[in-house]
Amino acid sequence: MTEDPPAERSADRSADRSADAPPVDQPADRPGDPESFVAENLDRYASTQGVLPERLESIGETYREQGCLSREQLYDIAYESSTRSAYHVRNNPEERCREVTRNVLTVEGDFSKIQLIAGLRGFKAPTASCVLAALDGDRHAVVDTRVWASLERIGYLDGRKESFDAADYVAMIEPIRALAAETGYRPVTVGYALFAYDAHVREGTLH
């Protein structure tokens, strides 16, 4: 975050500041045109290894029609998120998968929804976010290390993180919804753009 200039800073240096510089309480690297920022990075998303939006949309439609998801349907979501760890999902009892995803429809609060899904094997917060994004992309988004890094890079969060819990999901979804409201895009779409932005600007490997 930018800070107020020290009192002893000379008037000459203060005068050198650009007239269109952001206010001191606004991060200097926050997108000047959020709508263009989202649109530009959405164009990049197809070249990333992110989840397939069409696949999540299809599973979400099934979820809303059935009122729950089977173990195999949850496996499909987890596989989209992480091919390496998706096999853990198959260690969940079938009825528990249906019970949890049925209850997600009625429980209130983002934290509670993520925490409920994360009670299933194979579903840490990032993978659990895929379930919510599939269910309701007007309220939720897929989040992970890249999304957090992008939100940190453009001034919405502080510090980098590599692992996430339900509280971290809440920390991410709030600015994602703010960007969605500002740009007219759905939160799920903003999430994809943030993922692509980090993939575009990050130097070196993800981990």
pLDDT in tens, 153-163: 999 999 988 89
Band of the pLDDT at 206, cuts 50, 70, 90? low
**Secondary structure of residue 152 in the 3-state scheme:** helix
Distance CA 191, CA 180 (A): 9
Q: What is the pTM of this model?
A: 0.83
For position 204, what pLDDT does the model report?
58
CB 164 within 8 Å of CB 126: yes
pLDDT in tens, 67-89: 999 999 999 999 998 888 899 99
Whole-number Cα distances in Å, 148 to 43, 85, 89? 20, 21, 24
**High-pLDDT (> 70) share of the chain, %:** 84
Q: Which comes out higher in pLDDT, residue 15 or 204?
A: 204
